[in-house]
Chain A
């Protein structure tokens, strides 16, 4: 059974700080998604990656296939980055049950 663990569960930081959110999974990978959910809002896909690194603006996502670990980094964090960040894993050879989600990391960036 695939397990997806995220850390930390909650993170409060000051504006401008470098943020790292971690995600570990237990079985082989097909794709890993990082999602963002604002309070009361829908879920937006930030990245989908199966190897290496992707960058979009101030957001960077990396994945280490051997270690079964991915990180989401936010540089020069801003209060508008405050949201729940969710790691979701789709694994090779898995059944038809789609994505396995982490519990999410609740990020608050204080001005």
Chain B
């Protein structure tokens, strides 16, 4: 597509429920990143996919968080048993390769009530 697409744009969920956030990167971009931005905070790295390599999951805050990238394209970030502190904007970004221009999606605003 023309840009990085994320869905949903907003998600309100009850504490304890699971949520799935989707990212559709720019076609041909091999690198895909998930970040989180809490209110008033900077960007926090979550996970990085590069091509067919094993993802770097070092930024995931707990084992309730997982992500996958199918066919080297679309990625899904799953948060199980959501907690209120999971409320944030979840941003996806892609690049054709490391060191090149990075493109961000509009983000998914997650609110856990």
Verify B42–A86 contact, CB threshold 8 A: yes
Contact with A along B51-80 (1 / 0, CB 8 A): 001011011000000000000000000000
Query: Hey, which chain B residues are within 8 Å of A48, CB to CB?
Result: 100-102
Check B90 for interface membership: any CB of A closer than 8 A.
Answer: no
- B21-64 contacts to A (CB < 8 Å): 31, 33, 35, 41-43, 45, 48, 50, 53, 55-56, 58-59
Verify A31–B99 contact, CB threshold 8 A: yes
Verify A104–B45 contact, CB threshold 8 A: no
Query: Hey, which chain A residues are within 8 Å of B58, CB to CB?
Result: 95, 97
A42 to chain B: closest residue by CB: B106
Query: Hey, which chain A residues are within 8 Å of B50, CB to CB?
Result: 96
CB contact between B45 and one of A30, A33, A99, A103 (< 8 Å): that residue: A99
Sampled A-B contacts (9; CB under 8 Å): A42-B105, A43-B104, A44-B104, A45-B102, A95-B56, A97-B45, A97-B56, A102-B42, A104-B42
